[in-house]
Amino acid sequence: MAQQDGTTGSKRITGLSKSDAADRVVDADDSRDPDTVRAVLSHVTEDGAVTADGVDSAVTDTSMILSTAETRVELASIDLDDARKAAGDDAAVGAVRSRLDVFEAKVTNATERVESLGEELQGLTDWRDDPRSVYDIVLGLREVASEAQALTAHADDIQLDVEEFERWLSNHDVRVRGLDGDLAALEQSLDGLAGRVEAVANAESSEDSADAAEGADDDRATEWCNAALRARVSALLVEDVRAELDDLRELAPESDAATDGLDEAAADLDEHGARVQRLRERLDGLARPSWTDEYGARIESFEETLAAFEPPVSWGEVQAELDDARVGSEA
């Protein structure tokens, strides 16, 4: 059933000045923002008036924009196929397989999105016989065009990521530099965890030297629990980086020089792993019976949840689990 908004049938806004057309659209639905309406109508305005030719041109322009997105998504898919072929037997190595799986998911999602946009555009093409208002048609075209442009950029990013992956796959030094970056990020994360542990320790010292404000112990218990949760995540991070290291050893060329960087990385990783253990022990030493009574089961449950994750770890899922487990707004 056509909308009774004064913009369909014989009262379509085509032929009106943009100003009059905008007024009619807003009068039909006062929830619409006048500036937004005028901006949308500007895409189908010629010589100051909203025209049928302008709407036709908008359909054509949107089709071209979507066609570009389709092409870029197809190219990303081709690049992924090439990368998979380049990986060959190495595709079975965890570090390689996980990267290919991520690209596969992104390309599949992009393909589904571009197909969905094509269906939406098809439904807007025969706008003269459409019961929807001209404004809603134009708005729909703008939304398809905007999403198609975003999808084009996304597909381009996928291509760049696949190209970077191929460089990583073919160059041992690039892989080692990537591992070094992971180790640096791990060290920074442990620095942050150490700061949280010290904050719990310092708060306890402060309480010992002065009368505690009401609720101070609850705050320390919360900080202690959240630090303990993060310590468990840090242990998993060490395990994940160690698995990456093992995979890079498998991918490394058979030469003594190729293992030099990996041996150094292994030593650093051992040090980080020992640091995680020390921080966990420090937290255990700071714990009070009331804290473990209140949060011990939560921490144990989170630890069991993390045990289900195996390298290569999906860190988005881990972060979601941490967000659910942590106490209060701070992790």
Task: Tell me which residue has tokens 């890079």.
Answer: 248
Residue 18 pLDDT > 50: yes
Predicted confidence at residue 253, as pLDDT, reads: 86
- Under the banding of pLDDT at 50, 70 and 90, the label for residue 3 is very low
- Write a three-state SS string for the chain: CCCCCCCCHHHCCCCCEHHHHHHHHHHHCCCCCHHHHHHHHHHHEECCEECHHHHHHHHHHHHHHHHHHHHHHHHHHHHHHHHHHHHHHHHHCHHHHHHHHHHHHHHHHHHHHHHHHHHHHHHHHCHHHCCCCHHHHHHHHHHHHHHHHHHHHHHHHHHHHHHHHHHHHHCHHHHHHHHHHHHHHHHHHHHHHHHHHHHHHHHHHHHHHCCCCCCHHHHHHHHHHHHHHHHHHHHHHHHHHHHHHHHHHHHCCCCHHHHHHHHHHHHHHHHHHHHHHHHHHHHHHHCCHHHHHHHHHHHHHHHHHHHCCCCCCCHHHHHHHHHHHCCCCCC
Q: Report pLDDT for 217.
A: 64
Q: What is the pTM of this model?
A: 0.84
pLDDT at 1 over 70: no
Residue matched to tokens 């459409």: 130
pLDDT for 10: 37
Mean pLDDT of 57-82: 97
pLDDT beyond 80 at 213: no
% of residues, the chain, pLDDT over 90:
82
Q: What is the pLDDT of residue 8?
A: 52
Task: Look at residue 330 in the predicted model and tell me its pLDDT.
Answer: 47
pLDDT attached to residue 205: 57
Lowest mean pLDDT across 111-125, 138-152, 195-209: 195-209
* Predicted confidence (pLDDT) at residue 100 exceeds the cutoff of 70: yes
Evaluate the CA torsion angle 257, 262, 268, 270 in order and state its sign.
negative
Residues 131/1, Cβ–Cβ less than 8 Å: yes
| 261 touches 249 (CB < 8 A) | no
Cβ proximity of 306 and 318 under 8 Å = yes
Assign 9 a pLDDT band (cuts: 50, 70, 90). Answer: very low
Checking if the pLDDT of 187 tops 70, the result is: yes
